[in-house]
Chain A
Amino acid sequence: MAVNLDKATVREKIARRAEQEIESGFYVNLGIGMPTMVANYIQPDKQVVLQSENGLLGIGRSPYEDEVDPDLINAGKETVTASVGASYCDSAESFGMIRGEHLDLAILGGMEVSETGNLANWMIPGKMIKGMGGAMDIVHGSKKVVIIMDHVNKYGEPKILKECSLPLTGKGVVNRIITDRAVIDVKEGGLELVEVGEGWTIDEIKDCTGAGLKVHEDLYETKQ
């Protein structure tokens, strides 16, 4: 049975699932938009350092009114605070720590992901091109890249495809895709379905995915 949830509930569901990718001790970059929401659900027993590519290692909570410093923002240009033990750096150093693979995990949004782990998330031909920001660097810079997005677009078409139709952000960069319906890993031989969301069956996930899916063996017992 397909599940219909409102947009906010879907986003929260995806963000909560993405939080489980974060282990205590991790340095993590969260992309702009839905990925930023993941920070709201980080379990208090986990020690996590969030990196902001504009030069902050250790993003804190949003400021109270009397704490606002206009010189302190995250990469989404929102006012933030610095966490205890944070550090600042310039943009070259910030991307040096990204490109040098010092981060454990990056959680980013996506428009399309291919079965070889190609990611498209920065431009739609024919529409105004705003720029890639830091996305093209960040996809190469983390030990693990997790993409969170809706499983299908607003027309109900798959966003997980054999080949991306949109211009790429990175080639062969995605390790895991978390959607409102499933969790899918990018493996050597293609995509592997590792989790099926509540209310969905394996066949329904296959039907709304535009690339072949191997099914992780543990799933058959619980979801068939």
Chain B
Amino acid sequence: MKDIYTSFQEAVRDIEDYSTIMVGGFGLVGIPENLILALVESNAKHLTVISNNCGVDDWGLGLLLQNKQIDKMIGSYVGENKEFERQVIEGELEVELVPQGTLAERIRAGGAGIPAFYTPAGVGTPIAEGKEVRTFDGKEYLLQTGLTADYSLVRAAKGDKHGNLIYNKTARNFNPMMAAAGATTIAEVEKLVEPGTLDPDHIHTPGIYVQSLIEGQQEKRIERLTLAKQA
């Protein structure tokens, strides 16, 4: 029923130029590392990428940037990346900054069939420009639209062959909403198991949202290793 790939190149083969893709992760945590690497190799260009961050210079979505595959980036914080800054200043890259909670909700709404919603975040700020403001119970709210994508690339700790996914700790972040908001969702899982192995009560993303899966091993790079002082 689901496409189960053994090659990451194969898994992203259908992603064409000018596609809109959502990519899970917060910082480098929970990113589909191998799918991103394969997308770099595929050389699909003029992509619109929706992701909270844009990787770092030499890892994650930063690799797509370096290869000049991204035309437009929609995210909430893009400060960890020098190449990003250069491309914005040179006018090579368009950026839409969205408050993080609004971004999460726009993706959730997109996947849940909700075209738009009102949120207080951003009222009276630069991001309110051109947006409808409406007052409810004396408080102002901004109209924000739902987001969907041609492809969503997500990462989970475990997945079964029916597409059910379970995430690990804070690697969950944007992945579940993106899984639902992608017309085609490709899940990179650390461990792929047979249906019936995962407890149905513990599934974070029901399989209906996932079209294909591939098992792979991640480097899981750490951006800011912070340790407790040994007593």
Please tell me if the beta carbons of B176 and A95 are within 8 angstroms of each other in the complex: no
Q: What 1/0 flags go to A68-91 for Cβ under 8 Å of B?
A: 111111001111101000001111
A170 at the interface (CB under 8 A from B): yes
In the complex, the answer to whether B170 meets A54 with C-beta atoms within 8 Å is yes
B22-30, B41-49, B191-199, B207-215: which lies at the A interface?
B22-30
Answer yes or no: A8 CB below 8 A from chain B CBs: no
Number of residues on chain B facing chain A (CB within 8 A): 56
* Bound complex: CA A74 to CA B77 (Å): 15
The interface residues of chain A lying within 8 Å CB-to-CB of B7 are none
- Please, which residues of chain B bring their CB within 8 A of the CB of A61? 228
- Interface size of A in residues (CB-CB distance below 8 Å): 53
Q: Please tell me which one of the listed residues A62, A68, A136 contacts residue B122 in the complex, with CB atoms under 8 A apart.
A: A136
Check A99/B99 contact, CB under 8 A, given A70-B222, A71-B169, A128-B85: no
Residues of chain A in range 75-120 having any CB-CB distance to chain B below 8 Å? 76-80, 82, 88-92, 94-96, 98-99, 118
CB atoms of B102 and A136 under 8 A apart: yes
User: Which one of A133, A167, A171 contacts B100 once the chains associate, using CB atoms below 8 Å?
Assistant: A133
Q: Mark B134-161, 1 if CB is under 8 A from A, else 0.
A: 0000000000000000000000010000
Determine whether the beta carbon of A90 is less than 8 Å from that of B177.
Answer: yes
Q: In the complex the two chains form, what is the Cα distance from A134 to B174 in whole Å?
A: 13
A130 and B226 within 8 A (CB): no
Say whether B124 contacts A170, CB under 8 Å. Answer: yes
B225's nearest neighbour on chain A, judged by CB, is A79
* Complex Cα gap A95–B173 (Å): 11
The interface residues of chain A lying within 8 Å CB-to-CB of B107 are: 92
Min Cβ gap B178→A in Å is 10
CB distance from B37 to the nearest CB of A (A): 17
Contact: B223 with A136, CB < 8 Å?
no
Instruction: Give the dominant DSSP class at A's interface.
Output: loop
Q: Is the CB of A71 within 8 A of B101?
A: no
**Nearest residue, chain B, Cβ from A171:** B124
Known: A62-B228, A131-B75. A171 touches B108 (CB 8 A): no
Residues of A within 8 A of B157 (CB): 71
A53 — nearest CB in chain B belongs to which residue?
B100
* In the complex, chain A residues whose CB is within 8 Å of the CB of B225: 68, 78-79
Q: Closest CB-CB distance, A162 to chain B, in whole Å?
A: 16
B100 touches A140 (CB 8 A): no
Tell me if A91 and B227 are in contact (CB < 8 A).
Answer: no
Q: Which of B52, B75, B101, B108 contacts A137 (CB 8 A)?
A: B101
Alpha-carbon separation in the docked complex, A59 to B42 (Å): 39
- Among B166-214, those with CB < 8 Å from A are 168-177, 204
Flag B73-86 by CB within 8 Å of A: 1 or 0 each: 00111110000010
Are B170 and A88 in contact (CB-based, < 8 A)?
Answer: yes
Report the bound CA distance from A96 to B112 in whole Å.
15
Q: Are B78 and A78 in contact (CB under 8 A)?
A: no
Q: State the Cβ distance, A41 to closest chain B Cβ, in Å.
A: 16
**B119→A63 contact, CB < 8 A:** no
Q: How far is the CA of A54 from the CA of B174 in the complex (A)?
A: 9
The answer to the question of B120 belonging to the interface, with a C-beta cut-off of 8 Å to chain A, is: yes
Within 8 Å CB of A76, what residues of B? 224
* B residues adjacent to A (C-beta < 8 A): 26-30, 52, 75-79, 85, 88-89, 95, 97, 99-105, 107-108, 119-127, 157, 168-177, 204, 220-228, 230
Provide a sorted-by-A list of 10 A–B residue pairs whose CB atoms are within 8 angstroms.
Answer: A62-B228, A73-B26, A77-B26, A77-B27, A91-B101, A92-B176, A95-B101, A99-B120, A131-B75, A132-B99
The 3 closest A-B pairs by CB, nearest first: A95-B101, A130-B79, A171-B124
